[in-house]
Each structure stands twice: as C-alpha cells, then as structure tokens.
Amino acid sequence: MKTRLSIAVLLCLISVCACPADSSEPTARFDAFTQGIEEVLELVDRALYLAAAGISSYEPADQRLYAQGLINLLEGSSSPDFDARNEFAGSVPTGIRELFLEVALPDDSEDWDFIAPMSATRDSEVYQSISSIDHFFRLANTSAHDAFQSAYSLYGAWDAFRACYAYLVAARGDVEPVLIGGLTFLLGMFPLQEIWVSEGDALQTAIDAISDGGIIYLDAGTHIASTSIDKSVTLIGSDGAVLMSDPESGFAISVSAQAPITVTIRNVEFSTADVGAGIDIGENATVELNDVFAHGLGTVVRVHDGGTAIATDCTFSDNGSTMSAINGGTIVATRCTFTDNRYAVHGALGSTCTLTDCIITGCTGDYGAVATWCTDLTLDNCRIRDCEGSAVDVGGGEASRLHIVNCQLTGNAYGIDLTYGSCNPGGDPDWEAPSQRSYGTLTGWGNVIPGPQEMEGNREGAFYYCFQDYLEDPAFLLEPKPEDE
C-alpha cells in the first residue's frame, strides 16, 4: 500500500540519517513527527469506516449519525458543527485537517527545514503534495456535510458518502483495485482547485499549478508579484493581504488569453514601495475586482485590446491614473470610491466606461477627473467634487458619447468640459478629420452641475465649450427625467 501522507516521513528519515549518531534532537523530532502522522492515519481510518458504514446504511437516522461522526472527525471539537453526543467519533480534540497541517507545516521555519531539507522554499513538490492532501480533506468535509443534509432527502446520502470515502482514500494515497462506489485511485484525477499562498511564496507558482476555475487564497502579509495569468482563477485575500508589484517588472498582475477567461480578485490591497502598477488586462480577459483597496500606485488598472475591468465596492486613493481603457477596453465601476488620485477614469479610442453609484473626490490632475476621447461614457448617480480640473472631459467627434443621469458635479474647475474635434476609433483609412469635426453626443437628465455663483458651484463654470453654434445648450442635462424615458 502506498501512502501519500508518508512522503514527509521519508524526508525526515533522510534528514535523520544525515545527522551525527550522537545527535538526539533530530531523532526526537522524527519521533514526534511520525507519531503525528500515525495519529492522522488513525483518524482517517476511523473516518473511512464511517463513510463505508454510511454507504451501506438505508436508515436516514443512521446516515445522519455517520455523517455527524465524519464531521466531528474532520473538524474537531473546536468546530461549531461538532456534536459531542455522537457515539461514533468519540473524543476528537483536533480535527483531521487541522492535525495534519500542524504536523506537516509547522510554524517554526527550522522545523520546516528539518522536515523538507531538500527544498529551498515551500514552492516545491513537497509543498504541492501537502496542498493536494489538504485539498482532499476539505472536499471530504464538504461531502460529509452534504451527507448530513441529504440523509432525509428523496435520494438519500449514498452519493455524498461515496464521494467522502473517495476523497479520504485520495488523501491517504491508498492504491486499491476497486473502491467502494466503483471509484479507482483518485490521485491525479482531481485537478488542484485550491491553493494557499503564504507571505514569501511565489504567486506565479500557484497560478501555474492551479487548475482552470480554481481558487488561490493569499495569507496576510506582503506578496511581491510580477504575475501572468492566462486561465480563469479567483484570488481571495485574507485580511491584511497586500500585493505589491516588482518595481523592475511593471504590473503586479497581467491578464490575457487566447480564449475568454475571467479572473476574480477579492479582498486584496494593492500597494507599492515605489510608483508601481497594479493590473494589466488585455485580449479575451475579464477581471472582476471586489472589495479591492489600491493606493500609491502610478497606474492601478489598465485595460486594452478588448479587455474588461469590473470593479465593485473598491476604494482607490493617492494613485496616478486609477483606471484607464484604450483600444476597445471596457471599464465598469459600481459603488467605488476614488479619493485624492491624479485622475479617476480615462477612456480612449473605442472604449466603453460605465460608472454607477461612484464617488470621486479631490483629483489633482489639470484636466478631467473622468476624461474620455472616442469613448462611450455612462455616469449614473455619481458624485464628482472638489477636483483641480474639470469633473468630466468629453472629447470631440461622433464616437465620443456621454450619457449622464442623476449625478452631482460640484466644486470642480468645470462641471463638464466639451471638446470640439474629431475621432476615428475604428482606424478607417478613408477618414478625414477636418470634415468630421463635432462635439460628442450628449444625453441625460436629473443632474446637479452648479455654476460659480451657486452653492458648491464649479469654479470656472458648469460647462465649457467653444463653439455655441455647433452644440445645443447642455443645460438640458439639468432638467428632470423626461416622461417618455
């Protein structure tokens, strides 16, 4: 029988054999480590028995008991789902997964070096093996909960028990010709769906190892990154997880692919010791940012060549260019706050920018906090105030469009600065700029854009545009919503 849990034991044995004969400390460590692994194996054996019993049981009440016993063994007595009345699990002060990680990944770096003396970092085959075992324990625990919930259902809990049994066997590493439920040895059959990255670990290693659609968890601490992503993944940060770009490598994260992918980044702080950059989003890539905080960067998000950035409940402060789109890029920001950046959002050359329920304050650049050229811009229920330049700059040409509703633009240089010009976002070789000059297309209603003499007025004026004969008075943007809209 081959056991995956024994890999660290073998490494310990190598380490001990390399030590002087009179050295008692390595021997003591080896004994403690092997004892810990044996305790884990004993608990896994008990869990396998309960999973097998659940498969063979036809009484919902018994299936509930077996499922609760599995939960007790896998999670331990500290779990809120632990039930001390369960007769099958007995006293379990520490659950299987917690005990395994205590044994396999000690906090003391000296102990780690002892257990895995042949690996310079935890980004190694040993670490990936431990991550895989932990992954199977998590899946087994999920299946145990599924069994508990489905015991009284129409189809019963048999499938959940079979899955739990299979995951436990995969974690243990047993090679059996036939497993209960007709499953064969699972190692290698299940892609790695979850990886935990500690401070100092290489994020790129985790990206390369994770399967498409997997989840990477970032532990608290600072992660220096220059990472390329070409698959759909989710990055979730623990509280205090910070991503910083390598000053010599540009963006912390670059995302693009040959086929459409979606990358989700949640609860992560982007920062920099220098003027670094955050996320570059290119062809076929959609990046969803949720609860992200970015500060001190030169550029936070750059979208281009058809890429899409979707930011929700994010906070951006003290950055240079916060979000920019060019060459058909798309920006969607909802309930985001932009504070004391140089610029908030820029769009150019066939891009699309949509901001909803956003607050933009204190931009220090000398032109629009939101500035677009040859871009389709929508502002809905946004507040832009107290900026050095204008609140909104709209470039010239028919391809420049602004739809603005229920927004408040106050305390800026101008509310809306409109440029008379031309725009060729499609690269038409027959396009002639002089004959196609115009203002952009304006639509909207219900906005508050006061002039210099009004309360919280924009210092230079509500609107700025040079040629009044070529543009309808934009004051219609201040009128209530038309009845036919």
Mean pLDDT along residues 102-123: 47
pLDDT bucket at 171, cuts 50 / 70 / 90: confident
Residue 127 has a pLDDT of 55
Q: Are 481 and 338 in the same domain?
A: yes
> 107 or 95: whose pLDDT is higher?
95
Query: What is the domain count for the chain?
Result: 3
Residue 364 has a pLDDT of 97
Q: Are 159 and 17 in the same domain?
A: yes
Mean pLDDT, the chain, as a whole number?
83
In a domain, 184, yes or no: no
Q: Are 155 and 17 in the same domain?
A: yes
Residue 272 has a pLDDT of 80
Query: Residue 174 pLDDT > 90, yes or no?
Result: no
Q: Are 129 and 199 in the same domain?
A: no
In a domain, 460, yes or no: yes
Q: What is the pLDDT of residues 190-245, one digit of tens each?
A: 456 778 888 988 899 889 888 899 899 999 999 998 999 999 999 999 999 999 98
**Which residue, among 400, 375, 370, has the nearest Cα to 387 in the 3D structure?**
370
Residue 200 has a pLDDT of 87
Q: What is the pLDDT of residues 348-360, one digit of tens each?
A: 989 999 999 999 9
Mean pLDDT along residues 120-144: 70
pLDDT bucket at 19, cuts 50 / 70 / 90: very low
Domain boundary among 172, 200, 226: 172
Question: Where in the sequence is the domain holding 28, given as residue range(s)?
Answer: 4-172
Q: How far apart are CA 292 and CA 263, in angstroms?
A: 14
Residue 275 has a pLDDT of 61
Query: Residue 286 pLDDT > 90, yes or no?
Result: yes
In a domain, 177, yes or no: no
CB-CB neighbours of 373 under 10 Å = 24
Q: Are 344 and 273 in the same domain?
A: no
Domain boundary among 299, 319, 339: 319
Q: Are 312 and 410 in the same domain?
A: no
In a domain, 461, yes or no: yes
In a domain, 102, yes or no: yes
Least confident window among 31-40, 89-98, 187-196, 428-437 = 187-196
Domain boundary among 276, 291, 319: 319
Angle between helices 60-75 and 24-56 (to 10 degrees): 170
pTM above 0.75, yes or no: no
